[in-house]
Each structure stands twice: as structure tokens, then as C-alpha cells.
Amino acid sequence: MLNSIISIIGRTSIVAIFLMSALGNKIPNYSKVVGYMASEGVPAPQVLLAGAIAFLIIGGITVLVGYKARVGASLLLIFLALATYYFHDFWTVQDAAKAQAETIQFFKNVSMMGAMLFIIANGSGAGSLDALLARRRAKV
């Protein structure tokens, strides 16, 4: 029981940033975010933003509830890899303070990519729908 609670809290903590990013920023500020993406050199920003929102919501929910979490973590990993490359390219920044801030953001994203790789490798853990379904299948 304790493992389930800890696992649920862990999954919630991991996905909160993704769901809030989609629901609290990208959707309500769609045009503004498209403009920012275009300024950073992202190709087809309107299309890719729609895809990013889908990846964030689908990936976030699947990891949160632990259903097909490996697929959801893969979507979030793809999002993170692209976002990190386009928006936290500290190696191109001339201003030292901005370069330091982008380096921190870059490695924050790298740590979240590590969490996604961990979920891809190990599944969603205790207290997940995947674990519940696996127990039910084992009883049959």
C-alpha cells in the first residue's frame, strides 16, 4: 500500500509540469506561443504546437494514471528532446547570465528525460492501472 501511495505521488509530481504547461500556458496563449516558437526557429510552429499540446496531455495523463505509461513517457521524451534543443540551446547564447539560466533549464530537462527513460524501462510502478490490469490477468 505504501509503495502505491509513493508511486502515485511520484507520477503526479513528474507530470504536473507537463499538464500545467499545456493547460495553463500553451492552450490559453496559443498565438503568443506560436510567435515565440517561430522566433526560436521552430519549423511549422502552429502544427508543432498542436502536436506538443497533444503529447503533453496524452503523455501526462497516461503516466499519471499509469496506463500505457511507457507510451506516454515516450511522447513526453520526444517533447522534451525537441523543446530542449530549440529553447535551451545555451551553447548559442552570448550573454553569460542568460547562458547560465539556459544551462540550468537544459539540465532540468535532461533530468526529466531521465525520468521518462526510467518509466519506459520499468513501467509505471505500483498503484497504476497497468499494475492492476497485470494482477487481474495473472489471476485468470
Nearest to 104 by CA among 120, 121, 81, 87: 87
Give me the pLDDT at residue 71, please.
Answer: 98
**pLDDT more than 70, % of the chain:** 100
- pLDDT-based confidence at residue 105 (cuts at 50, 70, 90): very high
CA gap 116, 123 in Å, rounded = 10
State the pLDDT confidence band at 21, using cuts at 50, 70 and 90.
very high
127 DSSP 8-state letter: T
* Nearest residue to 26 (alpha-carbon basis) of 16, 13, 36: 36
Tell me if the pTM is above 0.85: yes
Alpha helices (H) along 21-128: 30-39, 45-65, 69-87, 96-122
**What percentage of the chain exceeds 90 in pLDDT?**
95
Continuous segment of H or E residues that includes residue 9: helix 2-20
